[in-house]
Amino acid sequence: MKKTTPSLSLVEKTDLLSVNEWVYKTLRKSIMCGEIRPGSALTIRGLAECLEVSPMPVREALRKLVSEAAVEIKDNRRVTVPLISPEKFKSLFALRTLLETHAAETALPYFTTEKIAELEQLDVAVDEAYSCGDVVAGSLANQAFHRFIYVQDPNQLILPMIESVWLQLGPFVRIGLSQLEQYYKYDRHQEAIEALRQRDAFALRRAIESDIRDGLSMIRNVDQIYENLKAKSSPTSN
């Protein structure tokens, strides 16, 4: 299998982030939005050169990502984003629905008019990205929209679990969405925003569930994506 060096969307560097934290957040973000394809072979040295850092912070970041099931490190030190079967893919979507509908409902009481206005601007960013065909920007904006809802609950504990699911699904969702000519027929985000305005917990849960279900229904060729990636990641492939 040929080793590749991906093009990564870098997290902004700030004085508050150490090099180790910056590398971890950049790799995590890149996996979550699907910039690193499942099964593609990477090396610690190659990632370090891509990020213009020493191998040490890359190793540290990869250890964390292994614990989150986001990457696998093979015996020969080859790094890959793991393949997931069609069955696991569907199970992860079901888990995502359970986690995110609960997180949205618990966040509902903490929404103000100002927060709803901020959420509307995030939805605009989602629409603009997808209308331009920018799947990476669209995925990141969509995650920002959902994350903004869930973090309004000051007592929420569930976001790390939600992001763990995003990490595992992201690379496959990116491939599926990149093959589409049309993205979302119904604007479930606007349904969620209206439910927040009306303080309607049931409607909010339904909007989030429908949004996730619509995403799954658009990726109709999961089996074929899996088989193609499996063939490309085999040791004999070039």
Q: Pairing between strand 72-73 and 79-80?
A: antiparallel
- Residue 157 in any domain: the answer is yes
Report pTM: 0.85
Same domain assignment for residues 106 and 205? yes
* Whether residues 196 and 116 fall in one domain: yes
Q: Same domain for 165 and 193? A: yes
Tell me whether residue 229 is in a domain.
no
Q: Please check whether residue 180 lies inside any domain of the structure.
A: yes
CATH code for position 42 = 1.10.10.10
Last residue in a domain, options 29, 54, 82: 82
Gap between the Cα atoms of 79 and 75, Å rounded: 9
| SS3 readout for the chain | CCECCCCCCCCCCCCCCCHHHHHHHHHHHHHHCCCCCECCEECHHHHHHHHCCCHHHHHHHHHHHHHCCCCEECCCCCEEECCCCHHHHHHHHHHHHHHHHHHHHHHHHHCCHHHHHHHHHHHHHHHHHHHCCCHHHHHHHHHHHHHHHHCCCCCCCCHHHHHHHHHHHHHHHHHHHHCCCCCCCCCHHHHHHHHHHHCCHHHHHHHHHHHHHHHHHHCCCHHHHHHHHHHHCCCCCC
Residues 67 and 95 in one domain: no
Give yes or no: residues 94 and 197 share one domain. yes
| Residue 195 belongs to domain with CATH number | 1.20.120.530
Confidence of residue 64 (pLDDT cuts 50, 70, 90): very high
Same-domain pairing of 135 and 193? yes
119 plus 149 within the same structural domain? yes
Judge if 119 and 145 occupy the same domain. yes
pLDDT digits (tens, 9 = 90+) for 94-152: 999 999 999 999 999 999 999 999 999 999 999 999 888 888 888 899 999 999 999 99
- What domain range is 165 assigned to? 86-224
Question: For the chain, what is the domain count?
Answer: 2
Residue at 70: amino acid letter: A
The answer to whether residues 132 and 191 belong to one domain is yes
Percent of residues, the chain, with pLDDT higher than 90: 55
Residue 40 lies in a domain: yes
Task: Assign 89 a pLDDT band (cuts: 50, 70, 90).
Answer: confident
pLDDT at residue 40, rounded to an integer: 80
One domain for residues 141 and 219: yes
Residue after which a domain boundary falls, among 31, 49, 82? 82
Q: Which of 56-70, 71-85, 106-120 has the lowest mean pLDDT?
A: 71-85
**CB under 8 Å to 147, separation ≥6 — which residues?**
159, 163
pLDDT score of 9 more than 90: no
pLDDT at 238 exceeding the cut of 50 = no
- If one compares 184 and 46, the residue with the highest pLDDT of the two is 46
The answer to whether position 236 is within a domain reads no
97 and 192 fall within a common domain: yes
49, 82, 115 - which closes a domain? 82
What is the C-alpha separation between 196 and 205, in angstroms, rounded? 10
